[in-house]
Structure formats: structure tokens, C-alpha cells
Structure 1
Amino acid sequence: MAEQRLVILGGGESGVGTALLAKTKGFDVFVSDKGKIKENYKQVLVQNDIEWEDENHSEEKILNANIVMKSPGIPDKAPLVKQIREKGIKVVSEIEFAAQYTNATIIGITGSNGKTTTATLAHHILKEELNVGLAGNIGDSFAKQVLEEDFDNYVLEISSFQLDDIIDFKPKIAVITNITPDHLDRYDYKFENYIASKFRIAKNQSKDDYLIYDADDEVIVDYLKKNPVQSTLLPFSLVKTIENGAYLDKENNIKITIDNTQIIMPTNKIALEGKHNVKNAMAASTVAHLLKIRKQTIRESLENFQGVEHRLEQVLKINKVQYINDSKATNVNATYFALESMSAPTVWIVGGVDKGNNYQELFQFVNEKVKAIICLGAENETLMSTFGNMVDVIVETQFMSEAVKIAYKLAESGDNVLLSPACASFDLFENYEDRGRQFKNAVRNL
């Protein structure tokens, strides 16, 4: 039988990782990127004799594939993807491709918000007692880790785009942190399409697998009622009493019960602040309890976990003003959590690429806590018209350094300056990390 030909669209972390794994598994591999492939990735492809092209898609080299792995960033609407599908060529995501080459226990974590924190926290707990990798939307690609590390367990942070292209992928433990409108531009502006996409994480699960989810999230609860899954359900809640799963008792302890074994964790010492982080802690601790991690280990890990960069990250205090980097807040719901956790008057830096945002849920916090708004985006009209009447000062800029200087002038002793954009970053920055780093550098240069 001739070698299978795998064409990879996108020469980034997931693309190059998949190329390396596929080459080892005997595939004829070709990497094609419409943009420029970064120099470090090019070097890896060259050193491994993997054929590639960038700033171009050569159709004749792509449409003869047996299987195509496309980067999560490429939408199904792209003409080339349509052509590939019309020819009946199988299209998969990196996690679908890589999962078939490992027998590891997979913990898959998805959700509109909280998935990075929950995945990082789960990994932080598990690594104390298990051999475990952290991949997916985070760090080194899953495919590369399957090739080089071969861990016994993987915690994968998985986006809806990655789930759109799974066929047989099934995690032993799936987590859905929450579902709020996001990325609707990729889902024909239909929220129900996005919800269904998230639930693909459980579509191949059987009753021996687990689905951990937020029982306070009406979207999730409602979907499960209408579309039951095979998995064993382990909900978590801040307000309900949960028999199998996790909840917060009257003394503010997290109680987790699985198969009649219960563990109790006090929340007063959890390093991360905010109600949403109690939920992230519940989800991660439920994973750990399922995998038989000792209660003491879970407790200590929750107490010493430092959080995720660009997620409510305390940068510096200057003249008694706290500067906070929440660049990872790329949707309204993430910014909701950020503003909810502010306990002082706040100068809020917001804006970027608006994915059809509805800012209404933020109004109570803006009225209550925000003293000034700095709009940092290429297009700020929606923000200006939405929030113009709510605060005394609202200004716009297209430079991070300027945004931070304005904030410095507006903030008084005891205030917060919060970068929590509620939008994607691609108008003025490379990605949310670039935006967050520019913010931190600007603060340090004050």
C-alpha cells in the first residue's frame, strides 16, 4: 500500500508538531501556510526533511491528500477547505490526529472562559503524583508531546475550533467550564451552533467516561436535558447541593463526592480570588479526586497555585495604584469576572476586535466600579456609544503606551488600572499575549 499523504494547513505550533509526529508514523507530509511560517518553525521543518511552503497554497499539492490536518484558525468557510471537503478528503484537528498514537488517560477541558486556568490548575495538582503533560491550546503541541514525551496522562485545553474537527477523539474525563456567546462569527452568528461545538467533547464518551460541568450554567444544563450524553455526569455548583460532583457548603468548603467517597476542601486559602476561580478549583479538584490524588496534595496545590499569565495578573503597584493585566479576557464574559472581582474604583482599558459583543451584562459593574474608560482598538464606536453616558471620562487611543500613560494620570491612590479588553487582539497586536506583554512593559516604564 502506498504511503498515506497528510497535508497540514498552517505552519504554527500545532501544524509543525503534527508534521513531526506524522513523519515518524510513516506519512508523506506536506505543510502549507497562506501566511509566513515563523523562522523557528521553518528550521524544524527543514531539519526534519519535511516539505513545506508559505505565503501560498498550491492546490495540486494539497488536493491529492488522503487526510488534511487544518490549523484551528482556518474557518470551514475558506474556499480551499470547501474544495478539500468536496473531494471527500478527511479533515481532522491536531488533537484528533495525535490522540490515536497514545494510550494515555486524556483529560479534555473546554469552555468559553476558565479553560486555561482550569487546565493549568489541574496539571499543577496532578503533576505532584502522576506523569502528566499539559497541551492543546497551551504550550508545546499535543502531537509533539505524544512523539517526544509519551506521558501517561494529558491535560488538554481544547477550543471549540479544535473540537469541530474531531471524529473519534474521546477524553476519559471531559470538563466544560461554562458556555457564553463567543466566536459567533465562526458559527453563522448562531449561539446554538457554538454550544453544540463545545459538547462535541463528550460525543464519543461512554458511561465509563466522565463529564464534569458547571451546574449553575443554564446553557449547559438546558442542552444536557435536550441532548443527553452517555458519560457519567459530575456537576459542580456554588448554589446547589450536589450528590455526585462538587458543591460549596454553608461553611464555604468545597465538598466533592464520587462513588460515595467524599473530600472536603476549605476555600479560604485558595490562592486565586473570585467566585469564578472557586468554580475552576472545583473542576480541577474533581479531576484530581477521580484520578485518586490525595486530598492533602489537592489542598496544598490549590493554596500555592499562582495563576495564569495575562489572566487577572497583578503587575505592579505604583503610587498605591494596582495595575492588573487581564489581556486574556477576549470576550465579555471574561471581563464580567474581572470587573466583578474589582474591590476599588477602576480605570478600565477595553477594546479590540469586537466579535458582535453585547456589553449589557457589564453595565452594573461599570456603573458601580468604573471611574474612567480607555478604549484601545482600531474601531471604538460601539464602546464609545455604549459606555459614553456611564462614566465621566471616556477616551480612545490606538497605542498601549499611551493608554497606560492616560490611565496613570486618571488613577488616584487606592484605585485599580485594569486591562480587560473583552475583545480579540488582532487589530493592534499579534495576539493577547503580545497585548498583555506590551501592557506590562508600558507599566514598568512609567
Structure 2
Amino acid sequence: MSKVLTILGAGESGIGAAILAKKHGYAVFVSDGGSIAADRKAQLHAYGIAFEEGGHTRERIAEASEVVKSPGIPDSAPLIQELTAKGIPVISEIEFAYRYIPETAKVIAITGTNGKTTTTLLTHHILKSAGYKVALGGNVGYSLAKLVAEEVHDYYVVEVSSFQLDGIVKFKPDVAVLLNITPDHLDRYENDFQKYVDAKFRIVENLSHKESFVYCVDSEPVSAEVSKRKIDACLFAVSATKDPRWEAYMADDHLIFNYKYKNTKHKIPVSEVALIGQHNMINTMSAVLAALNMEVSIQDILKGVKSFVNAPHRLEPCGEVEGVKFINDSKGTNVDAVYYALDGIKQDLVWIAGGVDKGNDYSQVEMLVKQKVKALICLGVDNAPLKEFFEGKVPVIHETQQMSEAVALGAELAAAGDAVLLSPACASFDLFKNYEDRGDQFRAAVKEMLNAKEIL
């Protein structure tokens, strides 16, 4: 009799888990409390997988020998509580996928509150450009289970969220990377920051001396937790400060690597790194250490670091008009992200910000704004919080509700050698569909301006 697997949620991870389970002989049932997209229904039909939508049939779900749940479903959900009370194991998709990754393959798993997508993409790019047969999956948008089901790879680079880590049992990456921890998603963790920290640190719970753990010592919650835990893995500390105690650090505009397990030392000039900003140097050093652990040569690593193009809307260069650079950081939806953007760009700035304010505390960027920002363009329905805080601290403040006007104002207020930065510090939903829409409109407006200059 085949094992019965129920999958809760028919999103990217749920569909991937269903396909992988079907290929390994499970009787599979997918249950989604909402509606299932037409393309995903077509995939389920193609594999002969039973499903339901618009609600959960508890009796049928409880027939499962095991349940894979969507990362969006909290452990506190009544259905999950009922299954747990009945002794039915509930796991995450990455845990299920991990069972079927060949033992000879290597897994790099990357987590952190901020920067994990960039670091995951960069790590994958370094390995791929070095000629490795490598897959990219997890929270970055591609189901790890589906990747495992469809093709065998030698290496898997996986972005993992705390929600996914909540559902692991034996998941054990060969290299685990933890970038930072700041308060986030606390509603999922009973507003208890330590519980969120514990969730992130689940990435190391199965590691032995054969595996490696790369972590940012500059993140106080991370370094504090490392100091009080017994972590069996080989430790690689990363810092943006000059401190030779660590395995990777910054000094004299170089990234320095003390790769102790090979007794080698490497240096990469910051000028050779495609990314900008101190936070991205942490991301880069973490990716490089992961690649060194996979025995990628420093020459191939340097090639990958130089040629990398980040995901859109993350300090994305969009063009230059009459000596003014336009930079799209629409993903910068909180003040922390804006700090990194302002800190990382060396030019004087015209700053485009605003949207749905989340009760932002702008004091943490106040000094940087005073030093670097010559004009602030408030792009939002309600610009009062931004205007009130920066009144008298920025020489010029303008308001608009049109992206095209914001970009035109930016070009008018900037001089050659300056940069116009879209880094909103706010959610996008007052004027745009999402942060992608906001960034796309910024890029399109810059492109239109470039085209107009070419015609002239």
C-alpha cells in the first residue's frame, strides 16, 4: 500500500512537493483553502493528482501518513494543531525535497532577515559561471521539490525563510549561511524575538563537523546566539570591519578571506564587486566563503563576483542622463534598507521616497540624509510624515503622485556626478500595485528620458 501524502497549499512549493511525491509513489492529495490558479490546476491534472480548493476536508486530510504545509500556514493554525494532536507529522517542502536530493550532491542554504535573495542569487551565479551543474531554489521563487523531481544536479543553492525552517526535521545543508537577524514576522512568533531567532538558527541544528556555517558577526543577535550555542559545524565569521580574527572582513577597500581550512588567503578589491553598499559586501563575502567551501577557484569566484547582475529593484542601475545616475531601490520598503542604500552610494543624491508609511523612525537615516541628500522628492498620497521629519534638514523638498514627474524632477534637481535614488522606505500600495510595479515605472520613466535625449 502506498504512503499517503497530503499537501496544504497549492502555491509554488505545494505544487512542487506534489509532483515530487507522485514521482516517488505516494498517493497525493492537495488541499487549498483558497482558489488554485488555472496553470497550477493544469499541472495537477497532468500528473493525475487529486486536489480540492476553497476549503479543507479535514477527514480526508487526516488520512495522511504525513503532511507538507505551505510556509504561509503558521503552526498555530487550528488544522495544524489538530494534525499534530493526532500524531501526523507536518513538515515543510524543503524538508520533503531534501530526502530526495542525491547523497553525492551538495546543498548551500542561505537565510537571514535581509539580503538572503541577493546572496542566494550571487552564490548560484558564482557556481554556475564556474561551470558547476547547480540549481537555484527555495524562497527565491522556485520550488526545491520541483527542481529535485525534474532533474538531478550536483549542487543546490537554496534560499530558506524562517517559516520553511520551522518545518524541518533532517534538513542538513553542506554550507549554512546566516546573514543577520532583525525583528520581523514577530506575529508568527508570539511577538517573541527570541522565538524568531531560534527559528533562524534551526538552519544549524543538524550540522556536524563535516559541514560549514557562515555567519555575520556584525549582527548582534547572531553573534550573541553563536557564543551561547554549541554548533558542531566549521565556523566562518564575516565582518564589514577590519578584524583579522574573522574568516572574511573588509580592509583598505578590499575583501579579505582567511580560508583557514585550506590555509590560504585571498583578496578581492571592492572595485571589482558588481554590488554596492556595505551590506552587499557582507552578502558578497558570505557567497564567496560558500563557494570556497565548494572548492571553486578564486579566479572563477572573481569572474562571478564581477559579472553578477542582481535581481531587479535592489540598488539596480537604470541608466545615466547627462552625468546623473538613476538607481532603482524600490525593494527598499523600510528605513533599514534605505540606510544601506544611502550609505552605499558615494555621490550626492536626489532621493525619491514615500508611500504607505509604517510608523517609520527616520532618525536612523537623518545624518546620512543631511550629508548626502540635496533634494527630497516625496512620492505618495500622504507625504506628511516624510515632510515633517525632513523639513529644514534637506535644502529642497518636492511632492508628487506621478512617477514620471518624480523622475523628471530628479533630473532637474541633480547635477552631473549626482545620483537620483528611488528608495521609498515605505510600502507601495497607495499609488502602485506593489514594489515591482513602482520600480518598473521608475525604470520606464528613465528609459523614456534617455530615448528623448537621444532624439534631441
Q: Please indicate, yes or no, whether the TM-score normalized by the shorter chain is above 0.5.
A: yes
Residue equivalent to 2:123: 122
Residue equivalent to 1:281: 284
Residue equivalent to 1:405: 405
**CA offset at residue 155 of structure 1?**
0.7
Residues 91-146 of structure 1, C-alpha deviations (whole Å, 9 max, x = no match): 21111110011122111011112211111111111121422111111243110111
* Aligned CA distance change for structure 1 residues 389 and 81 (closer, same or farther; 3 Å): farther
The counterpart of 2:440, out of the listed 429, 437, 441, is 437
**CA offset at residue 387 of structure 1?**
5.3
2:170 pairs with 1:168: yes
Residue equivalent to 2:366: 363
Q: Which amino acid aligns with 1:79?
A: P
Equivalent position SS for 1:135: strand
**CA offset at residue 384 of structure 1?**
6.3
Equivalent position SS for 1:75: coil
Deviates more, 1:319-328 or 1:190-199: 319-328
| Distance in 2 (alpha carbons) for counterparts of 1:141 and 1:36 | 19
* Aligned CA distance change for structure 1 residues 86 and 418 (closer, same or farther; 3 Å): farther
Q: What RMSD over aligned residues (CA atoms) do the two structures have, in Å?
A: 2.8
Residue equivalent to 1:19: 18
Question: Are 1:353 and 1:426, in contact at CA under 8 Å, matched by a contact in 2?
Answer: no
| Distance in 2 (alpha carbons) for counterparts of 1:24 and 1:381 | 56
Q: Which amino acid aligns with 2:112?
A: G
Residue equivalent to 1:142: 144
| Distance in 1 (alpha carbons) for counterparts of 2:362 and 2:44 | 44
Which 5+ residue runs of structure 2 have no aligned equivalent? 450-456
| Distance in 2 (alpha carbons) for counterparts of 1:388 and 1:57 | 53
**CA offset at residue 25 of structure 1?**
1.2
* Aligned CA distance change for structure 1 residues 300 and 324 (closer, same or farther; 3 Å): same
Q: How many residues align?
A: 439
Residue equivalent to 2:46: 47
Residues 25-61 of structure 1, C-alpha deviations (whole Å, 9 max, x = no match): 1222122223332222221111111122333333333
Residues 308-367 of structure 1, C-alpha deviations (whole Å, 9 max, x = no match): 22211112335654332223334432222112123222222244484x755442232233
Question: Are 2:355 and 2:431, in contact at CA under 8 Å, matched by a contact in 1?
Answer: no
* Aligned CA distance change for structure 1 residues 100 and 259 (closer, same or farther; 3 Å): same
Per the normalisation by structure 1, the TM-score is 0.88
| Distance in 2 (alpha carbons) for counterparts of 1:429 and 1:393 | 22
2:223 pairs with 1:245: no
* Aligned CA distance change for structure 1 residues 396 and 431 (closer, same or farther; 3 Å): same
| Distance in 1 (alpha carbons) for counterparts of 2:69 and 2:189 | 17
Equivalent position SS for 1:285: helix
Question: Are 1:244 and 1:257, in contact at CA under 8 Å, matched by a contact in 2?
Answer: no
2:342 pairs with 1:344: no
Question: Are 2:120 and 2:287, in contact at CA under 8 Å, matched by a contact in 1?
Answer: yes
Q: Which amino acid aligns with 2:353?
A: I
| Distance in 2 (alpha carbons) for counterparts of 1:72 and 1:246 | 32
| Distance in 2 (alpha carbons) for counterparts of 1:187 and 1:361 | 26
Question: Are 1:319 and 1:413, in contact at CA under 8 Å, matched by a contact in 2?
Answer: no
Deviates more, 1:74-83 or 1:224-233: 74-83
| Distance in 2 (alpha carbons) for counterparts of 1:313 and 1:251 | 22
Deviates more, 1:436-445 or 1:97-106: 436-445
2:105 pairs with 1:101: no
Question: Are 2:5 and 2:26, in contact at CA under 8 Å, matched by a contact in 1?
Answer: yes
Question: Are 1:236 and 1:283, in contact at CA under 8 Å, matched by a contact in 2?
Answer: yes
Residue equivalent to 1:211: 213
Question: Are 1:374 and 1:407, in contact at CA under 8 Å, matched by a contact in 2?
Answer: no
Question: Are 1:180 and 1:333, in contact at CA under 8 Å, matched by a contact in 2?
Answer: no
| Distance in 2 (alpha carbons) for counterparts of 1:63 and 1:394 | 59
Residue equivalent to 1:317: 320
Residue equivalent to 1:372: 376
Residues 391-432 of structure 1, C-alpha deviations (whole Å, 9 max, x = no match): 5536475xxxx2442343355233544333445667776654
Question: Are 2:21 and 2:28, in contact at CA under 8 Å, matched by a contact in 1?
Answer: yes
Q: Which amino acid aligns with 2:14?
A: G
* Aligned CA distance change for structure 1 residues 100 and 347 (closer, same or farther; 3 Å): same
Structure showing greater radius of gyration is 2
Which 5+ residue runs of structure 1 have no aligned equivalent? none
Residues 359-387 of structure 1, C-alpha deviations (whole Å, 9 max, x = no match): 4422322333342243547x877656655
**CA offset at residue 191 of structure 1?**
2.2
Residue equivalent to 2:66: 67
* Aligned CA distance change for structure 1 residues 330 and 70 (closer, same or farther; 3 Å): farther
| Distance in 2 (alpha carbons) for counterparts of 1:215 and 1:111 | 13
| Distance in 2 (alpha carbons) for counterparts of 1:432 and 1:101 | 35
Question: Are 1:35 and 1:55, in contact at CA under 8 Å, matched by a contact in 2?
Answer: yes
Residue equivalent to 2:228: 226
Equivalent position SS for 1:437: helix
* Aligned CA distance change for structure 1 residues 189 and 383 (closer, same or farther; 3 Å): farther
Equivalent position SS for 2:249: strand
Q: Which amino acid aligns with 1:205?
A: L
Q: Which amino acid aligns with 2:274?
A: A
* Aligned CA distance change for structure 1 residues 208 and 376 (closer, same or farther; 3 Å): farther
**CA offset at residue 301 of structure 1?**
1.6
Residue equivalent to 1:111: 112
**CA offset at residue 244 of structure 1?**
6.0
Per the normalisation by structure 2, the TM-score is 0.86
